[in-house]
Amino acid sequence: MTQSHDRKLSEVRAFVAAMTSEERMLVVVKKELYEGSWDEMLADLQARLNNKPYIFKLANRITDDIDRMKRLDKFEQSNNVDLSDYIELKP
């Protein structure tokens, strides 16, 4: 492995280690219920906020979850990773 790859992997692991339990839950939900798609999950939560039909009922903190999702998605996009690869998905 190259130094840049090792550094990137270290950055991803540090990011994952610093994630809150809410952020971890969102990563698991994205993987398990939305086939790994932040876009589908975001659309679902926004539909709920707009009183439209929605798929999954998260807590009453939808706007906070949306902000968390955007942060996690931005990290995934900028580092070309899927955080669910770094989080234990418990049954």
CB 39 within 8 A of CB 66: no
> What DSSP state is assigned to residue 61?
-
8 A C-beta contact, residue 65 and residue 59: yes
Task: Please write the tens of the pLDDT for every residue from 79-90.
Answer: 999 999 998 766
**Residue 59 Cα distances to 15, 19, 23, angstroms:** 24, 18, 13
**Domain-by-domain residue ranges, the chain?**
3-84
Q: What would the mean pLDDT of 10-38 be, rounded to a whole number? A: 92
pLDDT at position 60 over 70: no
pTM of the model: 0.70
